Every structure is written in structure tokens, then in C-alpha cells.
Structure 1
Amino acid sequence: MNTMSSRMGDLLKEKLDQLQCHFTWSPQKETVDLDDMMYRFQDSIDLNLKYKARSYNQIAFVNCLQGNSEEAIQNLKEAEKILRENHKDAFERNSIITYGNYAWVHYHMGQLDKAQSYLDKLEMICKPLTDGPRYTAMIPEVYGEKGWSLLSSAAPYYEKAKECFEKALEEDPNNTEWIMGKATVLSRLEAFSGTPESQERNQSVKYLQHVLELDPDDSIAMVLLALKLKGRSEREEANKLVEQALQKGSKDPYVLRYSAKFYRVQGAVEEAVNLLKQALELTPHSCLLHHQIGICYRMKLNKLGNINRRRPATQEQTELISQCKYHFGKASECRPRSAIIPMLDLADIYKKSGEYSKAEEIYNNLVKLEDIRPENIQQICLQAGSFELYQKGSESSAVSLFLKGVKIEYDSEERKKCKEILEKWADEKHCYAPRDSKALGVRGLLYQLDGNKSKAIEYFEKALEIDHENEEYLRALSQLRHSH
């Protein structure tokens, strides 16, 4: 498109970058699994779930990134139609994101005049709403939609999503959509062991209860709340909530999935598998459902004891291994970037069944991933490091991976485990090879991380007596001597 390089195209791009819409917030092609996103948003439209306009906007963005701009325009027309029906009096406030997406898609199509016409519309809509930017208005509708967009894209964006819901709720505190968004993002962050939210795990409960006060029929809020009510005194209430949610939302795959997780955690694995298979019939491309089914089969497998040379696999174990491989494999294949846990689970099954080369291939691919959550990197380091140490007997590779996990300043369970393995390894090494420079250097680093400066200096000096030119130890020593 020859006009793209013209001054008009450059000026237009500067304006488009100021917009609030999927093209300026969402992670780009390199950081998300576009096909998986497309399936998820299409499923929510086909199943006639709430907030179809949101799904059409998100599909338009994915279509445009995949080069299907004509389809993207049709998606945006559907979103616009639904917004006009649902928000008669407040259509303009609710159309800011859709119009921003229109402008971007037309720009990608080289239709600069049409893109400009949407910028003009946005300027007219936003002028009375804000004294801020010309082409957008930071109102609750915009913050809320941005929150949901980030929440549905990839785990590294959850913290930003939480901030967006908080901003939306500042001005519109009783909006169930935004309260549910905040509850959902809190419950996900609470599940990561290194987050501040994981230390105070009942924040989401408060928001889920508030959703049900405002909308007693919200079946997803019911099951999410049930999952959080783990104490004995609350078990009866939790069971009632799940039963109620299943009565109301038996055709909602989210309700089925969360209910299955509830039953699995309670140990009712057959009930969980049954619900997950029902959900899979409704959304056959769902990676998450395949992963959850795999977890259920793995629970059954683990109950049957270990497999080793002395105890080869029984027929039942062989069948369960096959089911785990199938479902973890399905969960991984459509989400090569974001299905990190299913891939680790698949590698673990390969390890259990003695297929080490397949496990190694998965670990090698995972180690290369970038732009992922810190605890995911630490999970990869822990599992890949353990494989190198215990299955392959490669101390050097294992230690490097454990150190990588420990050096990430994110206080997850995986980091603690990496640290424990390193401490144990360094202690054992010291017993039979007291002058092993690697073990001395590892001890120095662990003392450094613990803030024990004098011990760290002592061990780095000992390591350097043997490995004189080691740059890492020299750098660490210099840093420690010059720190106050």
C-alpha cells in the first residue's frame, strides 16, 4: 500500500496509537495463541453466552492480526448491532472500543479515509466525556472492557487487568460485570504462589459474594465461590452452591468446568470427568477442558503406585497413561505459548512411562520461552532441572537451571524448591569433593540471596581459589565488596 508510507499514513498512525481499543492494549501476535483465542471467543458467541459484543470485538482483533480484515469488519458490525440493542441510551459510551477497532482495521486495509472518519466519530463522542485525550475517554466502560480483554489474553497481563477493573469500579462500584472481573482476576492471582494475592486468599470471596448479592442467579460466581470455600464449616454451603449453579447453568461450559474442578478437589474424580466431557461436547476445541480431564486421569494413575523396573505398568496404568498423554497433548497443541502447565504435565507423563527423549524435547522447547509469568519460568526450571539431575545425571545442566529459577526474584513455591535442591546438592558435593568450585560458587550465591554478605564473600573467594577466572564469581565478589 503506497500511501502507507506517506505523511498522511504516519499522522493517522500517531492518532490511532492514542486510542483505547484491542489494537493498543492487547498482547500482539508473538505473545498469544491466536487460534486458541479465536476458538474461545467463537464458542462464547455460538453458545449465546453473555457479552457477545465483547467477543465479536475480540474476534475482530484476532481476525485482523491473522490478515482476515474483511471478516474483522463483519465482526465489528455484529458488535455494533448488539451494542445498539443493549445500550440504547448509552450506546455512544459503549461504542468507543468498537469504533477504535474499526479505525485500526480500516488502517490495516489501507482505507485511510474510513479510518479517519472513525477517529472523527470518536472525537465527537469523547469530547463531552473527558477533558483528557482527544480520541478516547477513560470511563468505566473502557476500563472494564480493557480488563476483560487482558484477562482473556494471557497470564502475564493479569495484574494490569486487575488495575483496570479497580479503575472501572471507582466510578461504577455496583456494576456486576466489573465486580465479576475483579473477582475472577483475584481468584486467578491467588492461585499463583508468588503473588501478593496468594498471601491473602480470601479477597476474591468478598467480591464473589458481592456479585451474588447484586445478581443471585450468576451461576459462574456460585461455582467460583464454592471453590474458595474450602473450610469444613463451609463445605455444605459450597456443595449447595455447585448444585444450584449446575441447575441454572447446565449448558454453560464455564459452569461445568469449575464444578468439575470443585468435585475433583473433593476427590470425586468420576463426577469431575463426567462434567468435563459434557463441557467438551459444547466446546470441542477447549484446551483447558482437555487439561482438566488429563489431571483427573493422572490422579487415578497416581493412586495405583509407581511404575519402575521392578513394578512394570499394569494394563490399567497403561490405559491411564495413554489417556493422560492424549488429553495433555490436546491441551498443549493448540496453545504452544500459553499451555505451559499442560506441556509440563505431558513431559511428566512421558517421564513416568520412561519415554525420556520425548520429555527432554518438551523441556528444551519450554526453556526457550520468553515473556511468560515468572512462576512459569521457575516451574520450567524446577521440572527440567530435576529431569537433568535425576533422569540424565547431568549435574551441570541441572544446576544451571535451578540457579536460573532461584535468581528470578519472585517468591514462589517453585523457587523455594529450586533453592532446597541446590542446598542439598552443594552439601552432598562438599562431603566428597570439598574443592568443587561449582558447589562453592552455588553456596556463595545462596548466601548472597539470603543477605548473608560475609558468608557469600567467603565462599566466592574459596571458589575463585580453584576457578581463578570465573567471571560470575568475580562480578559477585566485586558487587558484595562495594555494597553497603
Structure 2
Amino acid sequence: MLVDIGTEEGNSWLGHIYNLQGFVQFRLGSTEDALSFFNKAAEAFRQMRRADDGPWLVVNYGNLAWLHHHLGDQAESEAYLSKVDALMKKYPSPSQDELHAETYAEKAWTLMKFSNDRELLADYFQRAIKMQPEMVEWNTSYFLWLVNTSEHRDDGLAANILEKMRVAQEQDPENFCLAACYLEQRGKKREDVKDEARELAVKVLRNPVSSYNGMRAILRVYSNYISIDEAIALAEEALELHPDERYLKRCAALCLKRKIRYFRDRHTNQSMIDRAVSLHEEVISLYPHFSLVKNIDLANIHAKSNNGMAKADQMYQDLLKMDLKPAEKQLLYNQYEKYLNSD
């Protein structure tokens, strides 16, 4: 999923992304790629902060020290540890009991990707933002996380949080992901956001493709507050502009699945189902770690197709034979029961 985040210039979290990718590559056994990503992280921080050093490099230098230690290069490891010590002396934290704001922000961002510890994540973000309120991207990321954790609440965020989100959006007006999420929350409060959503969609289409460019959020706004058909049209338009982007294929597949499974009407024809099947097959190959969920989706789509029940039955039988983890089995059994009881 880190691949989908995007590494275009101007991404405020680019250094953090590279740091995280470096760690992942090391865990996968690719030390050369890990070193490359850690070095990219250092350069990204320098470009974004327009400075050769700063507290934002503490984690990066620590990563490089750790990597060189594992590579057996103790001299290089010690050199980076010395750089860490120098930075911590030059840019001390506000108190001995606290880390530097940059470190809290990095920890919070990493927890967003790898942990369900909501209290710790919120604490890290709030500490970082309190120490350096001028870092609008931290505030933005905090609210994006809040939205994601409340995505399935029909009533949206509490009024006081929504007001803070409005302020964050005004402070970071070029973040279209936050703008789309803010529209979504207002839609949940029964505000009419159609016109604003259409205006924002034009901007999102011009934005570099990434999982944080606002596309998925604006598609949710379209689906819920305009129409699922316009959401599909928007997703297909994005794919026409960027036909090789796997993230956009995933977005389009989600829209089509939703239309076919939950909005079945006279506008749902076999060609649309065929398109959904084709996209889901691509997504399964592009996101192998999501293959169970996507294969379930594909089976359910086949079930809506003309003469597709046999294919759906076979897919479910094949999935039931797989060696799955308990949580995966529970998911599969739940979906299979719904499938058997569907019309």
C-alpha cells in the first residue's frame, strides 16, 4: 500500500514514506533497496524543509545507523549515531520527558500505517501539533486519520471536531484529500455539497495520482451525495487520464462493485458487469495481499451476471478449500452465508 501513497515532489510526507519503505525493504531482505530509500528520505527532507539539517533527520539518521550496524559496518553506524547526538544537542526537545515534535510526528505517521493503537497515535499527533502548530501537514494528517476511523459512522464527526477540520482545511487548501473528506463529513450532516464536490473533482483529476490525492474520498462523496453513476464516470475518466495506475483501477472497481451489488437497476447491464469482472481480475493480480477480499467481490459480481451463478459457486468452493487464518475464515463464511441467502 505504500506504493499507492505516491512519491511526487511536494508530498509533505515524502521523507517519512521513504523511511518507511526503507524499513520494509530491510525486513524483506533487500538491504540495498533499504539503503537507497533511507538516502532518498534524507534528500526529501532537505528539499521539503529547505535546509541541510534539522530535527527531522534524527529518525532518518537513526535508521541509517541501524542499517549499517546490521550490515556490519560499525564505523558508518557510529558516524550516523554521532550525527543523531549532534542534532539532538542542536535541536533539543522542550523537556527531558518529551521527544522532539518531529519525532512524535514520524511515530504518529508510522502508527497510521502499522498499528491499531488509536490512543497512542492520537497522543503523538496532538503532542507534535501542540509543539509546532505551524506544521499544517501534521494537522491535516491527524484529521484524515480521524475521518478514516469514523468512516462507517452515518452521523459523521462531532460538531467540535468538524469545526476544527474546517480550520485545518482552510490552513491547507491545496490538500484535496482533506477537502474531499470535509465535504463528506458535511454531507453526513445533510448539507448539500453537490456543486462543491463537482468543482473539487476537477482539481483532483489534475492532481498527481496517489492514495492521498483525494480520489477515493471524492468518489465516496459522489456515490453517497450525487449518484453512483456519476461516481463511476469520474473513476473511468481518471483511468482514461492514467490508464496504468493500479490505484485508480482499484477505485473504479470499488465503484462498479457498489453499483452492481447495491444499486442494481435497469442501468446495470451485462457490459458493466463484464467491465467490473475485468477490473477486479486486474486488481487481484495487482494487490495479491487483498486477493481474498477481491475474489469474494468477484464471485459476488459473477453471481449478478447472466449465467454467472456457476462461476460464482465454483469461486466460493475454491475459496472454501484455501488454508486461511481464523479471521479470514470468519470473513469468508460470513460472505458465503450472505451469498447463499441472496436473491
- Shorter-chain TM-score range: 0.7 to 0.9
SS at match of 2:29: coil
SS at match of 2:275: helix
Residues paired across the two proteins, number: 330
Shift of 1:110: 2.5
Q: Write the letter of the residue equivalent to 1:345.
A: D
* Equivalent in 8, 15, 40 of residue 78 of structure 1: 40
| Cross-structure match for 1:184 | 144
Equivalents in 2 of 1:180, 1:315: separation in Å? 38
Closer, same or farther: CA 163–327 of 1 in aligned 2, 3 Å: farther
Closer, same or farther: CA 47–86 of 1 in aligned 2, 3 Å: closer
1:378-426 residue CA offsets vs partner (Å, 9 max, x unmatched): 6545324445x649xxxxxxxxxxxxxxxxxxxxxxxxxxxxxxxxxxx
Closer, same or farther: CA 283–229 of 1 in aligned 2, 3 Å: farther
What is the aligned-residue identity percentage? 18
Closer, same or farther: CA 279–369 of 1 in aligned 2, 3 Å: farther
Kindly indicate whether residue 95 of structure 2 is the aligned counterpart of residue 138 of structure 1: no
Equivalents in 1 of 2:223, 2:246: separation in Å? 18
* Equivalent in 65, 70, 75 of residue 27 of structure 2: 65
Closer, same or farther: CA 104–40 of 1 in aligned 2, 3 Å: farther
Any conservation in 2 of the 1:249–1:255 contact (CA below 8 Å)? no
Closer, same or farther: CA 347–166 of 1 in aligned 2, 3 Å: farther
What 5-or-longer segments of structure 2 have no aligned partner?
Answer: none
Q: Write the letter of the residue equivalent to 2:228.
A: V
What 5-or-longer segments of structure 1 have no aligned partner?
Answer: 1-35, 306-313, 371-375, 392-484
- Output the aligned Cα RMSD: 3.7
Shift of 1:180: 0.9
| Cross-structure match for 1:296 | 255
Shift of 1:140: 1.8
Equivalents in 2 of 1:213, 1:351: separation in Å? 46
The within-5 A match list for 1:319-468 is 319-338=271-290, 341-352=293-304, 353-354=308-309, 355-362=312-319, 365=322, 367-368=324-325, 379-387=331-339, 390=341
Q: Write the letter of the residue equivalent to 1:268.
A: S
| Cross-structure match for 1:212 | 169
Shift of 1:190: 0.5
| Cross-structure match for 1:401 | none
State which drifts further: 157-166 or 89-98: 157-166
Equivalents in 1 of 2:291, 2:302: separation in Å? 17
* Equivalent in 55, 58, 82 of residue 120 of structure 1: 82
The within-5 A match list for 1:218-257 is 218-230=175-187, 234-236=191-193, 239-240=195-196, 242-244=198-200, 246-247=202-203, 250-253=206-209, 254-257=213-216
The within-5 A match list for 1:245-284 is 246-247=202-203, 250-253=206-209, 254-280=213-239, 281-282=241-242, 284=244
Closer, same or farther: CA 304–184 of 1 in aligned 2, 3 Å: closer
Equivalents in 2 of 1:159, 1:242: separation in Å? 35
Equivalents in 1 of 2:76, 2:22: separation in Å? 17
Kindly indicate whether residue 59 of structure 2 is the aligned counterpart of residue 97 of structure 1: yes
| Cross-structure match for 1:164 | 124
Shift of 1:138: 1.8
Equivalents in 1 of 2:190, 2:144: separation in Å? 24
Closer, same or farther: CA 200–49 of 1 in aligned 2, 3 Å: closer
Equivalents in 2 of 1:366, 1:229: separation in Å? 43
Closer, same or farther: CA 98–290 of 1 in aligned 2, 3 Å: same
Kindly indicate whether residue 4 of structure 2 is the aligned counterpart of residue 40 of structure 1: yes
Equivalents in 2 of 1:336, 1:61: separation in Å? 21
Any conservation in 2 of the 1:73–1:102 contact (CA below 8 Å)? yes
Closer, same or farther: CA 299–249 of 1 in aligned 2, 3 Å: closer
State which drifts further: 222-231 or 249-258: 249-258
Closer, same or farther: CA 95–205 of 1 in aligned 2, 3 Å: same
Any conservation in 1 of the 2:156–2:188 contact (CA below 8 Å)? no
Closer, same or farther: CA 147–331 of 1 in aligned 2, 3 Å: farther
SS at match of 1:91: coil
Q: Write the letter of the residue equivalent to 1:227.
A: E
Shift of 1:363: 5.2
Equivalents in 2 of 1:336, 1:163: separation in Å? 33
| Cross-structure match for 1:107 | 69
Shift of 1:268: 3.0
TM-score in terms of structure 1 length: 0.58
Equivalents in 2 of 1:141, 1:177: separation in Å? 12
1:271-297 residue CA offsets vs partner (Å, 9 max, x unmatched): 32343234445483434x333322332
Any conservation in 2 of the 1:103–1:115 contact (CA below 8 Å)? yes
Any conservation in 1 of the 2:125–2:142 contact (CA below 8 Å)? yes
SS at match of 1:110: coil
Closer, same or farther: CA 94–325 of 1 in aligned 2, 3 Å: same
Shift of 1:75: 2.6
Q: Write the letter of the residue equivalent to 1:175.
A: M
